[in-house]
Structure 1
Amino acid sequence: MVDWEAASRQSDLRLWRAMFWIHIVLLVLGIVSLLLVIFGSEGNPNPWALVPGIAIVVMVAILLPNSYKKWQSNR
């Protein structure tokens, strides 16, 4: 007999683990894009070019702790 509750918990664990690592990757990409804009423009960055990178970093920084908590609570 299949234990659907255990299968559901395992699926939730995989989902939140994947979400956690996706957030980590997005955070790294956001930081790298900020650094490329800052250092790639020879010390005179266009402030509007920084907005997407800053938005990614801020959103991920807000969502990352929640993703980590859900992942740990489902373990």
Structure 2
Amino acid sequence: MVDWEAASRQSDVRLWRAMFWIHIVLLVLGIVSLLLVIFGSEGNPDPWALVPGIAIVVMVAILLPNSYKKWQSNR
């Protein structure tokens, strides 16, 4: 018979590992976009252009520890 509980746990581990790495990638992209806006505007960035990058970095920084904890707890 199939051990559905073990299969479900393995699926959860894969999901949270993927979520963790997606958050890492989004964090890096958010930081890169902030740097591009800051240095691409010759040191005088439009404050409204910074909002999307800041929002991405803040949201990912909030969600990243949670996905890491879930990934580690499901191992």
TM-score, normalization: structure 2?
Answer: 0.99
* Residue 5 of structure 1, CA deviation: 0.2
Alignment RMSD (CA, Å):
0.2
Distance in structure 1 (CA, Å) of the matches to 2:14 and 2:50: 33
Distance in structure 2 (CA, Å) of the matches to 1:44 and 1:53: 16
* Residue 61 of structure 1, CA deviation: 0.1
> Structure 1 vs Structure 2: percent identity of aligned residues?
97
Distance in structure 2 (CA, Å) of the matches to 1:22 and 1:43: 30
* Residue 25 of structure 1, CA deviation: 0.1
- Deviation track 1:36-63 (CA, whole Å, cap 9, x = no partner) reads 0000001110000000000000000000
Name the counterpart of 2:25.
Answer: 25
Name the counterpart of 1:13.
Answer: 13
* Residue 66 of structure 1, CA deviation: 0.2
- Deviation track 1:8-35 (CA, whole Å, cap 9, x = no partner) reads 0000000000000000000000000000
Q: Find the residue that maps to 1:60 and give its secondary structure.
A: helix
TM-score, normalization: structure 1?
Answer: 0.99
Where structure 2 has 5 or more consecutive residues not aligned to the other structure, the ranges are none
Where structure 1 has 5 or more consecutive residues not aligned to the other structure, the ranges are none
Residues matched between the structures, number: 75
Distance in structure 1 (CA, Å) of the matches to 2:43 and 2:13: 44
Name the counterpart of 1:54.
Answer: 54
